[in-house]
Amino acid sequence: MNHDDLRLAPRTRTAELLAWAAAEGREPVAEGPLRAVLALLELGGARLHDGWPELTSAAVEHLLYERLYLYVQPAPDEDPLAYGAAVELLIDHQRAARRLNAKRHERLQAEARWQGEVAAGLLHRADLVTWPRLYTLLLRADGVDEHDPEAVRGWLDWFRDLTPEDRTAVYEALEETGTLTPVDVDGGWGPARLLSVAMATDGARLMLENGLMQRSYRNLADANALGLPMPAELAGDPASFEAAVVAGALELFGEWTVPGLPELLATEYLDLAPEPGQDEIDAYLAQFPPEEEEQPEEQPEPEA
């Protein structure tokens, strides 16, 4: 174990994987998407072998189909297909390290290629954004320097002063310009869509926090086994540890969207990215018909 592994956030081996790809003469993969893929795989529960996430069909689907669109917003110069390409690169690396046989390698590559194309489409759907992704798109659409915290704050202040109708028009402009793909499943940028965004954001943050907690527990066990000192995040009281986890999740969210933006939306600008209340969640779920419980099959009477 490397001492840096004891940090709360994942220590991905992005640079090593890029160096390996270059040495093998492979087509380059963007660093940002590759770093996000490695982190999300680890935090999503993928088993690690020598610091590398081990890929299975379930892990590939979980990442590309179920989690990626919750967290990442590709930079304007990044191809959304880069996330699938990053998974394919990791698969090839595992094959070279003899962690996959030829049959599994071929199957996983086909799945990653297809799931990567699906993921790129999901990243464009207007009904699948989270608050950090949505505001990242809005900032970029208005040409705001996302690396200037004061510029970001200034834009958020401007947006806060808009009427609800004007805010809706700003959201809709993302579809009119082709930044997001319109969908007809929820009636557009009304209360149902905004509640769905809030619920997705809340769930995404909780999953990220849980992933960081699980990583910290593994770190603690490994540290104890090797006689290493307690990681700083785990050495304080429970409240400080929980605060570190929340801060770590928001920081990662910012790495994949706009640095600092998720924290602003969760604190100073919470009114622009409200968390869902229980009453709102109940009202939202009430729109859908209840699932019928499966009745146990009747067992035949034993013959006399």
- Dump pLDDT digits (tens) for 35-56: 999 999 999 988 888 889 999 9
- pTM (2 d.p.): 0.87
Which is more confidently placed, 181 or 214?
181
Q: Which spans in the chain are helix H?
A: 14-23, 31-43, 57-61, 68-71, 82-96, 102-122, 131-141, 149-160, 164-176, 191-226, 238-255, 261-266, 278-285
Q: Letter for the amino acid at 45?
A: G
pLDDT for res 223: 61
Structure tokens at 290: 């209840």
The CA distance from 200 to 204, in Å, is 6
* CB atoms near residue 69 (< 10 Å): 25
Q: What is the mean pLDDT of the chain?
A: 88
| Every domain of the chain and the residues it spans | 3-123, 131-276
Which of left, alpha, beta for 151 (phi over 0: left; psi -120 to 50: alpha)?
A: alpha
220: helix, coil or strand? helix
pLDDT for res 216: 75
Structure tokens at 277: 């209340």
Phi, psi of 211 (to 5 degrees): -65, -40
- Dump pLDDT digits (tens) for 187-231: 899 998 999 999 999 999 999 999 998 887 776 666 666 666 666
* CB atoms near residue 75 (< 10 Å): 16
Tell me the residue length of the chain: 304
